[in-house]
Amino acid sequence: MRSDISVFWPRERRNDSFGFLRNILSLAYPYSFKIGWLSGSTGGFVIANADRYDFSDLDGLYQIAEDEVPDVERHEVYAHNEALDEWQEVPWRDSLWTDEEDPRMAGEVSASDDWYNVIQYSDILESVGQAIEARDESISPEGHVEVSPSAHKMTARVGLDQTVEPAPGDEIDVDLRVRSGHSGYHGLKFDIGALRQVCSNGMMAFIADQSYEQTHSEPFQKQFAYHAVDSAVEGVDQVEQRLEEAQNRELRNMDEAALVLHDIGIDQYLENPTADALNALHEEVEDPENPSLYETFNAATYALTHLSKDMPQYQLDDGYEQAAQILEYGEGIPHPDILGENAVKRRSRELIEGGDDVDEYWEGEREDLRDLMEAHEIQA
């Protein structure tokens, strides 16, 4: 298991504490950790962000399913009246607690199986392993499983020995992404994912007909794991074709590409939304006058992978799914003119309606936007 550790320490004591603290942590926590400062604080503390379990073969995946990820059990929910200092049971709700030595409250859900069925993380991972064995015993899966601090969310990346090369020298490892949760709002979802070897950018959910999901309103549908593994292996050619096609579809310029990244919501995951989006575009786009959808998609995933805020993987996975809009519309790739025009329309409306209260993304954006509106024949 590897946990990501965030360390917060009082700013006024950093000179006499920083080195000592770092040395202690490097011995106590052989994981990755971050150090931050708390202004005006008088004490420091350490926070484990998430539990991460890496595996390099099928046995490792099974071991995580059996021994590492927690299962949950239903328990009663009580409501407290402060004025009367009385507690009463809420019979239509259940709380979900992990079965660990130090239990965590992982969710609060309907008490009725007609509305909520518990889907254990261990059952999901075990089914993925069984699906891999049934598909091809020669596949040696690798990847990781991550469980949020409260255990209310689980994400997994399962590599399946599948690689594509949509552009010369740009090898991409195709994998399976799994997401589930106990919050009552998150079901179970399997998506085709990928990882670029050149820069470790993550990708996912960019081919809709290779995704499988279910809600908690029905018992665990084990067959979805088998369908998902089959799609990840059999769909490699489709993945490569989709990425190759995206290289031949171009937006008008970098301004439009930046507006598209904002329009699909990538900015909400970034520390410095416009600057990070532009930096990512400059990192990935070869010709600024003709950014392809492939390059724009890579810029989105680059920003999420390397420039995002410090947040749990399950939140970043939502970002990767939003980025997939650049490559997925209906049963194919969206037309760049439509993608760009929609972004320009929404942004121009926002600036017109907001007036001086809305800041430009970059200096001169309004003028650049007028040029794009003219190119798309959009009336103000």
C-alpha separations of 93 from 89, 110, 118, 183, 187 in Å: 9, 5, 13, 12, 18
Please indicate, yes or no, whether residues 56 and 188 belong to a single structural domain of this protein.
Answer: yes
**List of residues 6+ apart from 352 with CB closer than 8 A:** 380
The whole-angstrom separation of Cα 215 and Cα 305 is: 28
Stretches in the chain below the pLDDT threshold 70: 1-49, 184-185, 199-210, 330-331, 380
CB 249 within 8 A of CB 337: no
User: Residue holding tokens 């939003």?
Assistant: 322
DSSP character at residue 359: P
Nearest to 284 by CA among 175, 166, 198: 198
Q: Is residue 8 part of a domain?
A: yes
Please indicate, yes or no, whether residues 286 and 197 belong to a single structural domain of this protein.
Answer: no
Predicted TM-score (pTM) of the model is 0.72
Nearest to 174 by CA among 151, 141, 146, 150: 141
What pLDDT is attached to residue 18?
A: 41
Q: Is residue 93 part of a domain?
A: yes
Please indicate, yes or no, whether residues 160 and 258 belong to a single structural domain of this protein.
Answer: no
Q: Is residue 248 part of a domain?
A: no
Q: Residue 310 carries which side chain, given as an amino acid letter?
A: D
Q: Is residue 115 part of a domain?
A: yes
Please indicate, yes or no, whether residues 220 and 319 belong to a single structural domain of this protein.
Answer: no
Q: Is residue 242 part of a domain?
A: no
Encoding tokens for residue 311?
């947040």
Q: Is residue 240 part of a domain?
A: no
What pLDDT is attached to residue 26?
A: 38
Q: Is residue 249 part of a domain?
A: no
Please indicate, yes or no, whether residues 213 and 83 belong to a single structural domain of this protein.
Answer: yes
Q: Is residue 111 part of a domain?
A: yes
**How many domains are contained in the chain?**
3
Half-sphere exposure (Cβ direction) of 220: Cα atoms closer than 13 Å: 18
Please indicate, yes or no, whether residues 227 and 296 belong to a single structural domain of this protein.
Answer: no
Q: 97: which strand partners?
A: 73, 105
Q: Residue 232 carries which side chain, given as an amino acid letter?
A: A
The whole-angstrom separation of Cα 99 and Cα 101 is: 7
Phi, psi of 189, deg, nearest 5: -140, 135
**Residue finishing a domain among 168, 201, 233:** 233
What pLDDT is attached to residue 282?
A: 95
Please indicate, yes or no, whether residues 86 and 207 belong to a single structural domain of this protein.
Answer: yes
Please indicate, yes or no, whether residues 17 and 92 belong to a single structural domain of this protein.
Answer: no
**List of residues 6+ apart from 7 with CB closer than 8 A:** 21, 25, 33, 34, 35, 36, 44, 46, 47
Please indicate, yes or no, whether residues 23 and 64 belong to a single structural domain of this protein.
Answer: no
The whole-angstrom separation of Cα 113 and Cα 96 is: 13
Q: Residue 298 sits in which domain range?
A: 254-375
The whole-angstrom separation of Cα 344 and Cα 41 is: 45
Nearest to 326 by CA among 306, 303, 310, 349: 303
CB 6 within 8 A of CB 46: yes
What pLDDT is attached to residue 207?
A: 56
Residue 37, exposed/middle/buried by CB under 10 A (0-12, 13-18, 19+)? middle
The whole-angstrom separation of Cα 31 and Cα 16 is: 23
Q: Residue 295 carries which side chain, given as an amino acid letter?
A: E
Please indicate, yes or no, whether residues 76 and 169 belong to a single structural domain of this protein.
Answer: yes
Please indicate, yes or no, whether residues 302 and 209 belong to a single structural domain of this protein.
Answer: no
How many residues can be counted in the chain? 380
Please indicate, yes or no, whether residues 66 and 31 belong to a single structural domain of this protein.
Answer: no
